[in-house]
């Protein structure tokens, strides 16, 4: 795939990525108001930011109409099949048809509550790739695994099938330590930096280079800048804080503050 074709297929190239995961929250009124606010503030969003909103499936079309292309849509979940007798499922083709450019796979809640193992996760990612949708593959360790110093082993395990996606899938990986999701607990920037370096080494072992790596897990407007300032972090996956439109916008605006700080540092040197 040429660079020009990649830029069309993967709007996140060369940008910081901000993903909102609403989980099972919202209403029609909420979606319309949220979309209107994003559209209203679109001109204030940095050109260096790629913004993706993953709403519940029933609201994707409403969100699409509300944002009018101001941000990209993402699916929260898709099936391992593209069609057939799978009552209640949404295929990757359907997600693409409704306007999704991105799709979450492997979120810890899907792994824990719906027993999705690494094989299922990579199958879903493959369906997304086939449909022209960029998979955002979530990985991360539990608190028990962290305390047992098993983080690197767990990440290797979760990424062991990753090479089957191929080098031109537009893949994004999101590191979300399970113990930090919705708990208010967050690793230090130093810990995130070290863990992301481990993940990059794993990806390189599978022949995958230049894969954007996001951090997720209790990301807020207060701490987002600390993570985004790390060269090993190319964006954030935001859960609860993304339900507050203005806080999500503040998280995106952290990018401008970091850029300004970098300019000042360069001038001072």
Catalytic residue annotation? 107, 176
How far from the centroid of its chain's Cα atoms is residue 85's Cα?
29
Task: Provide DSSP, 237-256.
Answer: EESGGGGSHHHHHHHHHHHH
β-strand pairing of 172-175 with 134-139: parallel
Report the candidate in 260, 188, 245, 192 with the shortest Cα–Cα distance to residue 66: 245
Gap between the Cα atoms of 149 and 151, Å rounded: 6
The answer to whether 57 and 93 are in contact (CB under 8 A) is: no
Beta bridge partners of 172: 136
Helix 189-205, helix 151-158: angle, nearest 10? 40
């Amino acid at each position: 795939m040429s660079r020009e074709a990649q830029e069309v297929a993967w709007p996140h190239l060369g940008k910081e990525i901000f993903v909102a995961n609403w989980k099972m929250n919202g209403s029609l009124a909420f979606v319309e108001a949220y979309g209107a606010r994003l559209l209203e503030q679109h001109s204030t969003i940095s050109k260096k930011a790629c913004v993706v909103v993953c709403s519940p499936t029933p609201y994707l079309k409403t969100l699409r109409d509300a944002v009018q292309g101001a941000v990209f849509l993402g699916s929260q979940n898709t099936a391992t099949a593209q069609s057939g007798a799978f009552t209640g499922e949404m295929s990757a083709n359907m997600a693409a048809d409704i306007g999704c450019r991105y799709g979450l796979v492997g979120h810890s809640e899907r792994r824990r509550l719906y027993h999705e193992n690494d094989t299922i996760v990579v199958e879903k990612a493959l369906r997304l790739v086939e449909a022209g949708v960029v998979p955002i593959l979530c990985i991360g360790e539990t608190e028990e695994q962290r305390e047992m110093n098993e983080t690197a082993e767990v990440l290797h395990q979760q990424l062991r099938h990753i090479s089957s996606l191929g080098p031109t899938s537009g893949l994004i990986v999101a590191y979300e330590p399970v113990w930090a999701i919705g708990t208010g607990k967050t690793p230090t920037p130093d810990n995130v930096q070290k863990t992301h370096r481990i993940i990059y080494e794993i990806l390189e072992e599978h022949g995958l280079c230049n894969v954007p790596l996001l951090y997720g897990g209790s990301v807020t407007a207060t701490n987002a800048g600390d993570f985004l300032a790390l060269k090993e972090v190319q964006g954030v996956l935001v859960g609860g804080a993304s339900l507050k439109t203005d806080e999500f916008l503040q998280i995106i605006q952290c990018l401008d503050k970091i850029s300004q700080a970098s300019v000042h540092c360069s001038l001072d040197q």
